[in-house]
C-alpha cells in the first residue's frame, strides 16, 4: 500500500485558534480522507510550535510559565480539530524531548556538511521587550509600540548561520522542474522570483540569555538556542521518528504534501528544503499554499474585535456546515471572506434547499412507495466522479464541490421531469432506484468534505425500509 504523508502548518500556540486555523485543518483533512478512500496509507501530522520568545512573553502576560501556557493553548487546538471532525494522526509538540533530540540531529547533519557557521548578527534591540525588531515592525519614530519614547539599541551578537546561499541553483532547479511541486502556479513563480533576487544566509540560533533558555539547545554549544524556524519545521520529521524511530521515519518520510498558508511559503519552499538537502535527507514532494481569511471584509484582529471563534459557529450550525462554507465559498487558491450573513445564505441555498431538500424529497418518495435499495444492484458506493478526483488532486476544493453540485441539480431535474409521484410499478421503482443510487454516489463524493453528512445519507438510503427522517440541514430563517 502506498503511503501518503501529509502535514498542515504547525500553529504557533501563543493564542487561541481562530477560523483561519479551522480552514487549514479542514483542507488537510479533506486530503487525508480523500487519500484514505483512494487506499493510501495516510499519516497526517500537525503539531505545536512552542519555542521562541513570543511564547515566553505571552506566557508572562498571563502570569503562567511557558510550559503551562503552551499546554493550555495546545489543548484548544486539539479541541478545535475534534469539533471539526479533523483527525491528527500525530500531534507533535516542539517541547517534547523527542523533538529536541531530533532537531539536534538535524543540526549535526547540516553542520557535518559544513553549512553552519558563526557570524555576528546586528539588529535593533528593544531593552523593554528584550527582543529584536525589524524596521517595519516599528512606528514612525522608529520605536517599538510597547515602549514609546525609548530608543532601540543596535546590538551585535554572535549567532550560528545556515549557508542558504549555497543552494540557490539547486532550489531553482528543484522548483522549476516540479520535483518540489508548488501549488498554485503563481506561488511557484513568486518563489522562483524571490530566489532569483539572490539568497543570503540566515541566522538559526540565539544566545541562551536572549532566548531565556527556552527552546532546543545547540549541540555542543550550551550558550546558544536553536532559533525558531530551524526547529519548528523539523516538527514534520521529529513527529514521525527522525532521530528516534528510524523504521517509522523511513516508512513515511518524505512528506508528500505540506499544506500551508501564503505567509510561510518562503520558509517551506526555500529554507526547509535547503536544510533537508544540506542534511542529506529526502525532500518533500509538494506544497499546497492557501490564502487568508478576512471577516466581514476586514483583517482579523483583536483590536477590531472581529476574531471569529470557530467553536461558536460549529456549536450553532454544525461542523459539516462550516466545513462546507470554508471549502466551497472560499477560493482554494486565494483569499476569502467569512461573514455570518454569507454563511447563512450559503447554508440555505446549498445545504438546506439543495442537498437537504433533495434528500428529503427522495426519501419521502421511497417511504411512500415502500421502496428500498436492492443490495445487489447498489452502485456508486465509494466511487468519485473523475472530475472530482482531478480537482481534489489539484486542491481545487471549491471547484470539486461545484461538480458535485451539478449532479444534485441533475437529479432534481430528473424528478421534475419524470414526476415519480404519478408513476407506479416498475416505472416507479426504476426511477427511485436511479435517484437513490445517484444520491448515494453524491454522498460518497461529499465524504471527504462533509463526513458526517455523507455517513448519515448513506445510512438512510441503504436502510430497509428507507424512511424520511428528520431534516439534514433545517433552513435558517
Partner RNA sequence: GCCAGGGUAGCUCAGUGGUAGAGCACUACAUUCAUAACGUAGCGGCCGAGAGUUCGAUCCUCUCCCCUGGUACCA
Provide the binding-site residues for RNA, judged by CB under 7 A: 12, 14, 49, 52, 54, 121, 123, 132, 134, 137, 161, 164, 186, 189-190, 193-194, 197-200, 202-203, 227-229, 232, 262-264, 266-267, 331, 334-337, 342, 345-346, 348-349, 352-357, 359-361, 364-365, 368, 409, 412-413, 415-416, 421, 468, 471-475
Considering beta carbons, is residue 186 or 245 the nearer one to RNA?
A: 186
Considering beta carbons, is residue 43 or 111 the nearer one to RNA?
A: 111
Q: How far is CA 97 from CA 124, 233, 278, in A?
A: 33, 16, 24
| DSSP 8-state assignment for residue 474 | P
| Cβ 476 to RNA shortest distance, Å | 9
Considering beta carbons, is residue 42 or 264 the nearer one to RNA?
A: 264
CA distance 136 to 149: 17
Between the CA atoms of 13, 14, 15 and 19, what dihedral angle is there, to the nearest 10 degrees?
Answer: -50
DSSP three-state, residue 18: coil
CB hemisphere CA count around 294 (13 angstroms): 8
| Cβ 355 to RNA shortest distance, Å | 7
Which residues are known catalytic residues? 18, 21, 126, 129, 144, 147, 299, 302
Considering beta carbons, is residue 42 or 391 the nearer one to RNA?
A: 391
| Cβ 248 to RNA shortest distance, Å | 26
| Cβ 284 to RNA shortest distance, Å | 18
Considering beta carbons, is residue 247 or 417 the nearer one to RNA?
A: 417
| Cβ 224 to RNA shortest distance, Å | 14
For CA atoms 93, 98, 103, 104, give the dihedral sign: positive
| Cβ 122 to RNA shortest distance, Å | 9
Considering beta carbons, is residue 136 or 140 the nearer one to RNA?
A: 136
| Cβ 67 to RNA shortest distance, Å | 17
Considering beta carbons, is residue 43 or 440 the nearer one to RNA?
A: 440
Q: Are 261 and 9 in contact (CB under 8 A)?
A: yes
Task: Give the cell for residue 244.
Answer: 528516534
Amino acid at each position: 500500500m502506498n503511503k501518503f504523508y501529509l502535514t498542515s502548518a504547525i500553529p504557533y500556540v501563543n493564542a487561541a485558534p481562530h477560523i483561519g486555523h479551522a480552514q487549514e485543518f479542514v483542507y488537510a483533512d479533506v486530503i487525508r480522507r480523500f487519500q484514505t478512500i483512494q487506499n493510501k496509507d495516510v499519516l497526517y501530522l500537525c503539531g505545536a510550535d512552542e519555542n521562541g520568545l513570543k511564547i515566553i512573553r505571552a506566557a508572562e502576560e498571563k502570569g503562567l510559565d511557558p510550559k503551562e501556557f503552551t499546554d493550555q493553548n495546545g489543548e484548544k487546538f486539539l479541541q478545535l480539530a475534534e469539533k471539526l471532525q479533523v483527525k491528527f494522526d500525530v500531534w507533535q509538540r516542539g517541547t517534547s524531548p523527542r523533538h529536541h533530540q531530533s532537531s539536534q540531529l538535524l543540526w549535526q547533519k547540516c553542520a557535518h556538511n559544513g553549512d553552519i557557521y558563526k557570524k555576528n548578527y546586528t539588529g535593533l534591540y528593544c531593552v523593554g521587550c528584550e527582543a529584536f525588531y525589524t524596521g517595519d515592525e516599528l512606528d514612525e519614530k522608529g520605536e517599538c509600540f510597547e515602549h514609546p519614547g525609548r530608543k532601540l539599541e543596535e546590538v551585535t551578537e554572535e549567532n550560528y548561520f545556515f549557508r542558504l546561499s549555497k543552494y540557490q541553483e539547486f532550489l531553482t532547479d528543484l522548483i522549476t522542474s516540479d520535483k518540489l511541486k508548488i501549488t498554485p502556479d503563481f506561488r511557484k513563480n513568486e518563489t522562483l522570483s524571490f530566489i532569483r533576487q539572490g539568497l543570503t544566509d540566515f541566522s538559526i540560533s540565539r544566545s541562551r540569555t536572549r532566548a531565556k533558555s527556552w527552546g532546543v539547545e545547540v549541540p555542543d554549544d550550551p550558550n546558544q538556542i536553536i532559533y525558531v524556524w530551524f526547529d519548528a519545521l523539523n516538527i514534520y520529521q521529529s513527529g514521525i521518528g527522525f532521530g528516534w524511530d528510524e523504521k517509522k521515519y523511513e516508512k513515511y518520510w518524505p512528506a508528500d504534501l505540506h499544506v500551508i498558508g501564503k505567509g510561510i511559503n518562503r520558509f517551506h519552499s526555500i529554507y526547509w528544503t535547503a536544510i533537508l538537502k544540506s542534511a542529506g535527507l529526502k525532500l518533500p514532494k509538494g506544497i499546497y499554499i492557501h490564502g487568508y481569511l478576512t471577516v466581514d471584509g476586514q483583517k482579523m484582529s483583536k483590536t477590531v474585535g472581529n476574531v471569529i471563534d470557530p467553536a461558536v459557529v460549529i456549536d450553532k450550525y454544525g461542523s459539516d456546515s462550516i466545513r462546507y462554507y470554508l471549502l466551497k465559498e472560499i477560493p482554494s487558491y486565494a483569499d476569502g471572506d467569512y461573514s455570518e450573513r454569507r454563511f447563512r445564505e450559503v447554508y440555505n441555498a446549498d445545504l438546506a434547499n439543495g442537498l437537504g431538500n433533495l434528500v428529503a424529497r427522495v426519501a419521502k418518495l421511497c417511504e411512500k412507495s415502500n421502496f428500498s435499495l436492492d443490495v445487489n444492484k447498489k452502485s456508486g458506493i465509494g466511487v468519485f466522479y473523475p472530475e472530482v478526483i482531478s480537482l481534489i488532486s489539484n486542491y481545487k476544493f471549491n471547484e470539486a464541490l461545484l461538480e458535485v453540485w451539478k449532479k444534485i441539480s441533475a437529479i432534481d431535474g430528473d424528478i421534475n421531469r419524470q414526476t415519480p409521484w404519478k408513476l407506479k410499478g416498475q416505472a416507479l421503482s426504476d426511477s427511485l432506484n436511479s435517484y437513490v443510487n445517484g444520491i448515494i454516489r453524491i454522498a460518497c463524493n461529499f465524504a471527504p468534505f462533509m463526513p458526517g453528512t455523507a455517513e448519515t445519507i448513506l445510512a438512510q438510503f441503504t436502510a430497509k425500509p428507507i424512511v424520511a427522517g428528520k431534516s439534514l440541514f433545517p433552513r435558517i430563517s
